[in-house]
Amino acid sequence: MKLALAPDRCSGCRACELVCALDNWSALNPKKAALRVHGHFPTPGRYTVSICDQCGTCAEVCPTNAIQQNEHGAWLINGEDCIGCNICVQECPQGVMYLHDDNGMVPIKCTLCGKCMEFCPTGALYDADGTIPTRR
């Protein structure tokens, strides 16, 4: 499973943000999603999406090795080892690690659960490995 992006297809519906937060945090709260849709209106009249490509920069800069890669290729934060320094948030090249008051010092990060790809109605988010079928 590899999260990929075709931003020209994005309609800005943010179903990805909703399902991400609901699946990972059992919350109706797109502020807890690990990706973001950005609208650029009235000009140029387009959406862009910030997603995690599991580049591993967060793990490289983490001073406590709190971020480890699992067997599916996702870098996951071990909350017990995280000291809340936020260096990973600052250094994330895509800007997709987020802080939320409810989660204390531990950032929110993509777990590669696949829900955003599964439910993106337009195929703007898709699985580059083809494991998850694209909607259209």
Partner 1 sequence: MIPGYGGNILRIDLTGKKASASPVPEQWKREYLGGRGFIARAFWDEIKPGTDPLGPENKVLMAPGPYTGQFLSSSGKLHMGALSPATGGYGDSNMGGHFSLELKQAGIDLLILEGAAETPVTVVIEDGKVTYRDASAYWNETTFETETRLKQELGEAWQIMVIGPAAANGVVFACIQHDFGRQAGRTGVGTVMASKKVKAVAVKGTKDVKLHDARRTLAAGEKMMDQVMKQPGFTAWQPYGTPEVVPWASSQGVMPTRNFQTGVIEGFQNLDGPTMKAKVTEIDKGCTSCAIPCGKWGKGVLNGKEKPQEGPEYESIALLGSNLGITDIQAVAYLNGVCDELGLDSISAGNVVAWSMECYEKGFLSEEELGRPMRFGDAEAAVAMFHDIAYGRGFGRILGQGVRAAATHVGLGTERFAMHVKGLEISGYEARYAPAMMLSYLTCDIGGNHSRSWAVTFDVATGRENFDGKAERVIWLQHVRPLFDALGCCRFPWVEAGLDPESYVGFIEPITGMSFTWDELLKVSERVWNLTRMISCRHIPGFGRAFDNPPPRWVEEGQETGPTAGKHFTREQVDDLLNRYYKLRGWTEDGIPTPGKLEELGLGFCAEAACK
Neighbours of 124 (CB within 10 A): 25
Could you say whether residue 103 binds partner 1 (CB under 8 A)? no
Per-residue contact flags (x/-) with partner 1 for residues 30 to 69, judged by CB under 8 A = xxx-----xx-xxx-xxx----------------------
- Give least dist CB 1 to partner 1, A: 17
Could you say whether residue 95 binds partner 1 (CB under 8 A)? no
Q: Which residue has the tokens 């650029």?
A: 40
Contacts of 126 by beta carbon, 8 Å cutoff, 6+ apart = 4, 5, 6, 117, 120, 132, 134
Could you say whether residue 11 binds partner 1 (CB under 8 A)? yes
Strand partners, 36: 50
Q: Which residue has the tokens 């494991």?
A: 131
- Give least dist CB 130 to partner 1, A: 19
Could you say whether residue 13 binds partner 1 (CB under 8 A)? yes
Could you say whether residue 18 binds partner 1 (CB under 8 A)? yes
For partner 1, give the closer residue by CB, 24 or 57.
24
Q: Identify the CA nearest to 94 among candidates 40, 38, 52.
A: 52
